[in-house]
Chains A and B, each alone.
Chain A
Amino acid sequence: MSTKTADDTHRGTVTLKVFRYVPEEDEDSYFKEYSIERQEGMTVLDALIRIRDHQDPTLTFRHSCRMARCGSDAMYIDGRQRLACNTQIEDLDLSTPVQIEPLPNEDVERDLVVDMDGFYDRMESVEPWFQPDHEPETGDEYLQSHENRQNIDTVLDCIWCGCCSSSCNPAGNDDDFTGPAALAKAYRFFKDEREGDETRQRRLEMLNKSHGLWRCHTQFNCTEVCPKGISPTEAIMEMSKEAVKQKLRFWR
């Protein structure tokens, strides 16, 4: 793990107020404050790692690539779902301690680690695998226009961090709701011209249910917090419109 060392510029200290809960030790969760020296370019993840290495080895959180790709260090930082690794400390309001909590709407396993199984189940529920309804046009390779590939580019970038689902009120209240990440994943295939019309239709019918497309309240919370700039809401709206156009609309 490379963190800033040689060219550090000291910026004073920063205080992190971190959610703590160890199931076999704590009846209730609590917050613990840590103060550390702040350096230029320091991210929330850098700070947490430094605390764990030098102050409190019992502090537990998930992380791996520290480059906003693995999606494992999503947390609730100062009241918003973010990736700890690409959140610069200096971009936060430092007049009060930086508050770090596990993702809301998910069960806490320990400290900042939440149970992601429900999230993964939702992802799996949309049959997120390529299902072409025809043989490849060239005999071996499916053809895809440059434009079609560009159209799905942003949703393809989803890293399964769970920020969107955690920020989504309907997803928090309804375990059966497919949720924004999985619907964006469905859109990734729905829009891919290689699958063909038949599969496209089947995918739409699959999502056209009370706990599917129509549970979205178009609040745009998911879109606002997505660390990769994806808009699940727009993807959902586009698929909903298509369902209406095809008179598939599910009547609640």
Chain B
Amino acid sequence: MHKHDVLIVGAGGAGLRAAVAAHEAGADVAIVSKLHPVRSHTGAAEGGINAALKDEDDWHDHAYDTVKGSDYIGDQEPINIMTREAPNEVINLENMGMAFSREEDKRVAQRPFGGLSFPRTTYASDKTGHMLLHTMYEQVLKRGITVYDEWYVTDLVVENGRAHGVTAIDLQTGRVDSFAANATIFATGGMGQVYEHTTNAVANTGDGLSIAYRAGVPMEDMEFIQFHPTTLPSTGILITEACRGEGGILYNNEGERFMYERGYAPNAGELASRDVVSRAELIEVQEGRGFEQGTVHLDLTHFGEEKIEERLAQILELARDFEGVDPVEEPIPVKPGQHYTMGGIACDADGKTNVEGFYAVGEAACVSVHGANRLGGNALLELVVFGKRAGEHAAKASAGSSSASVSPSKVEVRAEEERERIEELMSGTGVHQSEIREEVQEIMTEKVGVFRTEEGLKEAREAIQDAKRRYEDVTVKDSSSTFNTDLTQTLELRSILDVAEVITESALARTESRGAHSRDDYTERNDDDWLKHTMAHYAGENEYPRLEYDDVIIEEYEPKERSY
């Protein structure tokens, strides 16, 4: 039994930022993570972090760009908070020692990015996430914050509308233990493993989403899945948007700069928002103007070696090592791949959810600031701005809550139930998790991808239901209690199934096209019926998610047609 004021689940950028904030607010903080913090997927973020730092820039413009990028379904109140607080948080990172790239005047450098009306993306070469993650972890070390690394959280304990803590397995020993806390913050990251072709780490299985969903917290706007337009075709590895920000060009097989020449984005071209570019690429391929493996070409050869090495060093390495292509000499073949989930655990700008003492932050959360499409450079920003706010709020709430309201014994009882669930999984008689997982990943990629139809979504829904039935007696074939990755993957598969079902159900219901959600059978945005957030509620093991809808917060920017 462990007991802390504030418990943070997940140790990527959001979790670490929340931990530092809660610690500074005087709370006893601990972090539980299934990976060691420096292994977190924030480290893979490449491009940058947006902030209106310059005198010629204005956070209101950043807010407007974000609202427009979101296809008007991002909530304008939290977007204002995020963009207004951005300069402070970016400078705070600088003050923590983060190694941003520098301008000639020794100040933090900025560059253009997709969907932004000003070059306001601060960056550290093309390793911005890596630098941010390591800087935040350094701050956690400095403060001596407790980290339980390689512990896999299996459940959130909620009773009478209040969170009491979590249950978790120590991966080293297989022991299930309980963690009671006055406030619990989920910063568990994305869920890319729901898809076969993804930029996401193998660890990104949507555990936090699934656990929160089952505990009664709605999943907001899960139909909005971002596909990044430039991923390597064989692995899904991300080729940063900074390539286009720096002047990289997309070509089809006729040598056309199709973003302009085919009229997809006559003004912004390659720097239109990600949903626009992803759709354009797929249409080019579908109409026979693509290359092998369904790709288009991203050309950086006009940069010269020096510029690529200075600003896009990681891209050189990734293209050479993983695709056998040298970007100095030849274009990189790219195609869209699952990248990010705009939706997530429904919460407000302090990370608060509908469960007392339970918070969410980062990619796992939906505040919502990204709406139907996230702009590049806003994800790392979201981590620090809302990480800080959630940490501070949780610390304050924790200090104010009487210790009697949290019941460690409730957490212990749940830990015992989790031990039983795991024993059952170990003694199942059904198929192995890998078989079910591969099928779900394939159908999600095929039917719940960039373009969707009612027929395809219904097929996916059937396949997921079938997978859930087979999961009921899934078998863990490894009987060891030491670092049992077969067991972890089996537990993760339940998360994948839950999340896949919520995405599909939410997408099936939304009969319009908006941002990243693009329906072949409903091609127009329909503000009359659909200017609203999807709230998917858990309705029981064999039930479809129950969908409800919430209003979008509109302040100064009235919805209008989006063009780039």
Contact = CB atoms under 8 A, between A and B. Distances in A.
Interface of A: 1-4, 6-7, 22-25, 41, 43, 52-54, 57-58, 60-72, 86, 88, 109-111, 113, 116, 120, 124, 127-130, 132, 136, 138, 140-146, 149-150, 152-153, 156-157, 159-160, 189, 192, 194
Nearest to B309: A153
A70 B483 CA distance: 18
Contact of B38 (A43, A86, A159): A159
Given A4-B234, A116-B36, A124-B141, A143 B292 contact: no
Nearest to A66: B202
Interface string B233-259: 011111000000000000000000000
Given A41-B324, A65-B44, A156-B131, A143 B107 contact: yes
B193 to A, nearest CB: 7
B317 interface: yes
A138 B432 CA distance: 59
22 contacts: A3-B235, A53-B434, A57-B432, A57-B434, A58-B478, A61-B485, A67-B44, A67-B322, A72-B35, A72-B39, A120-B36, A129-B141, A141-B91, A141-B95, A141-B108, A146-B102, A146-B106, A149-B101, A153-B125, A156-B127, A189-B97, A192-B99
B480 A110 contact: yes
Contact of A149 (B102, B196, B324, B484): B102
Given A110-B480, A129-B141, A67 B432 contact: no
Interface string B375-404: 000000000000000000000000000000
B328 interface: no
Given A86-B322, A130-B96, A2 B196 contact: yes
A64 B103 CA distance: 34
The winner among A1, A3, A128, A142 for most chain B CB atoms within 10 A is: A1
Interface string B79-121: 0000000000001001111011111101110000000000000
A64 B198 CA distance: 13
Contacts of A120: 36
B507 interface: no
A12 B44 CA distance: 33
B482 interface: yes
Interface of B: 35-36, 38-41, 43-44, 91, 94-97, 99-104, 106-108, 124-125, 127, 130-131, 135, 138-139, 141-142, 172, 193, 196-198, 201-203, 234-238, 292-293, 310, 313, 317-318, 321-324, 337, 432, 434, 438, 441, 476-478, 480-486
Contacts of B201: 64-66, 70
Nearest to B149: A120
B493 to A, nearest CB: 12
Contacts of A194: 97
A156 B483 contact: no
Contact of A60 (B100, B124, B476, B483): B483
B41 A70 contact: yes
Tell me the dominant secondary structure on chain A's binding face: loop
Contacts of A65: 39, 41, 43-44, 201-202
A57 B36 contact: no
A225 to B, nearest CB: 16
A170 to B, nearest CB: 24
A60 B484 contact: yes
B234 A41 contact: yes
A160 B94 CA distance: 22
Given A58-B480, A109-B483, A143-B107, 7 more contacts: A3-B235, A23-B482, A57-B476, A60-B485, A70-B201, A129-B142, A140-B91
A64 B480 contact: no
A110 B125 contact: no
A1 B193 contact: yes
A57 B480 contact: no
Contacts of A140: 91, 95
A63 to B, nearest CB: 6
Contacts of A22: 480, 482
B101 A25 contact: no
A143 B203 contact: no
Contacts of A128: 138, 141
Nearest to A189: B97
Given A129-B138, A152-B99, A157 B43 contact: no
B38 A2 contact: no
Nearest to A111: B483
A11 to B, nearest CB: 14
Contacts of B318: 67-68
Contact of A64 (B100, B202, B238, B337): B202
A157 B324 contact: no
Contact of A24 (B131, B142, B323, B482): B482
B202 A1 contact: yes
Given A2-B235, A145-B106, A157 B292 contact: no
B198 A144 contact: no
A72 B485 CA distance: 14
Contacts of A189: 97
Contacts of B101: 149
Contacts of B432: 57
Closest 4 CB pairs of A and B: A130-B97, A143-B106, A53-B434, A129-B142
A109 B172 contact: yes
Nearest to B204: A64
Contacts of B198: 2
Contacts of A3: 235
Nearest to A61: B485
A64 B199 CA distance: 11
B480 A24 contact: yes
Given A129-B141, A160-B38, A24 B481 contact: yes
B235 A144 contact: no
Given A124-B141, A146-B104, A152-B99, A64 B434 contact: no
